[in-house]
Structure 1
């Protein structure tokens, strides 16, 4: 008899409001309908303010799933601001040996890049709540094809080279604001030869200018092989000027390859991307 695809649902960042319990039940039902066996962690809902538990408790909730040999994937359903407080309490040796793969986005950029930095282990930048979103049918079809059948559907996204013709390297990064929380810590990824993925939900020109100049002053643009820009939701909704691609060209310079995709980020139709995977981007004629 085939073993079930046992998966975990956790919340390492801001806790889920109790009002979201019905949605999470729908998510659990949806995952079950796709042939998965979802299990909720101990730290999901608000207990005190934005916390579903202490940093140690949330870290232990995550580690309990990494220690479970039956767990295939760990889906973080949270986002917000506080995921980085669990980083000192994770057992990276256990994570490195586990076959479980971590999935999350937004503030979980901190956890995903810390795992890669400490272990070299790949994780997936994707929010599983997309399966019950506005684009649920498309998301479920893509997810099922990739997760259950090994097809590229969920990970295949369109892009265009907007500066230079090609770039190649291992992908790191994610949400620009959250990634920068790792600056100056032991969890900051080695940027040499990497493709830096950047995306954001909020923020306009002042915030993006600050983030990009921090990256510039850290020497990141001199170390990486290129930049992959995902969606910048608020910037794009408000048609901010200068646009994010224009700002990136201004601060990263004219020699660094840059690609843009509208299919990675916070939008509910977003595709997934593997952080820690080597990728090649080429201009299409």
Structure 2
């Protein structure tokens, strides 16, 4: 009886090595389980602007064009970018079509949503994940764009990026991380600026390694139970929020815990909770809530990282291996997030 391949590898002590080699198809291409890195940006490249969520004004598009021109980039608008359908930037099918079309358009090197709001969750079943995987390119954004970042990472196995949208403040801090990670292909260490007003606070000390996953907390929790989330096993989870009372943050973290997510992660980062309040009733502080949920996990964790609805923000690669240091409040990329090959 012929020896099976796995038995052969085990017999010769090579099973562990085999798991470290990226799986290939018969044609020598990466298998569907291999994580893909998009091609890096270069001066003169064209970025595609879309509105997959909330309504966009023409003046915002013009302002965004100026920002990208200063970065040495050209701009191409999505066909439905100025559509309106209630509080959404067009009907679900049309907004999904703009996403699919931008990925299939070979002239586009990166896709940058104009803004968040609400609506991306509605178009997830309409996205062509096979097409997206066959045309890997940079997708970056935050807030409601969290939905697209996580779903495409999970279903298309593509590195995506939590960072500025087109209407963000493209200041020196934000642009620096954007360029170093997406243009230069650097494996950077992210740390709050020494001269900034934002300070980090340790929840639990220590270092941890894992795949970086996360985004807006309310958007992420709205996806729990769907088939559009990545694996949480030994991951580093980061979240941020805006305009929520502390009890709601408590409720959402409780949902992640009861869903079995928090018990799988290796490290935790809470970014900014912009305009979050204690509410009118007697309340815990945000720090107390974070300690209640995270300390029992026994993992490195901190709060105050420059992630979220703030002017100065990191560009965070979703799906890349990182090492975090809760004592220093740092996120160290262990590999580049983009490919430099043509």
Structure 1, residues 117-160: CA drift from partner, whole Å, max 9, x if none?
112211111123365x3x6344345534544334567x733366
Residue 190 (structure 2) pairs with residue 156 (structure 1): yes
- Give the corresponding residue for 1:10: 50
The answer as to whether partners of 2:307 and 2:314 remain within 8 angstroms in 1 is yes
- Give the corresponding residue for 2:311: 268
Q: Say which of 124, 127, 132 aligns to 1:90.
A: 127
Runs (4 or more) in structure 1 with deviation over 4 Å come to: none
Q: Which runs of 5+ in 1 are unaligned?
A: none
Residue 212 (structure 2) pairs with residue 175 (structure 1): no
User: Aligned to 1:169, what secondary structure does the other structure show?
Assistant: strand
Q: Which runs of 5+ in 2 are unaligned?
A: 1-41, 193-199, 329-342
The answer as to whether partners of 2:301 and 2:326 remain within 8 angstroms in 1 is no
Q: Return the offset for 1:197.
A: 0.9
- Larger displacement relative to structure 2 (82-91 or 34-43): 34-43
Q: Return the offset for 1:31.
A: 0.7
- Give the corresponding residue for 2:15: none
- Distance in 2 separating the partners of 1:189 and 1:162: 25
Aligned length: 277
After superposition, the Cα gap between the structure-2 partners of 1:45 and 1:93, relative to the gap in structure 1 and judged at 3 Å, is: same
TM-score by length of 1: 0.88
The answer as to whether partners of 1:110 and 1:181 remain within 8 angstroms in 2 is no
Q: Return the offset for 1:5.
A: 0.7
Q: Say which of 196, 204, 209 aligns to 2:245.
A: 204
- Distance in 2 separating the partners of 1:47 and 1:146: 34
- Distance in 2 separating the partners of 1:222 and 1:151: 31
Q: Say which of 95, 105, 111 aligns to 2:142.
A: 105
The answer as to whether partners of 1:157 and 1:261 remain within 8 angstroms in 2 is no
Q: Which has the larger radius of gyration?
A: 2
- Distance in 2 separating the partners of 1:152 and 1:261: 22
1:4-153 equivalences in 2 (<5 Å): 4-16=44-56, 18=57, 21-129=58-166, 133=169, 136-151=171-186
Task: Compute the RMSD of aligned alpha carbons.
Answer: 2.5
The answer as to whether partners of 2:43 and 2:71 remain within 8 angstroms in 1 is no
- Distance in 2 separating the partners of 1:217 and 1:104: 28
More helix by share: 1
The answer as to whether partners of 1:194 and 1:224 remain within 8 angstroms in 2 is yes
Residue 220 (structure 2) pairs with residue 186 (structure 1): no
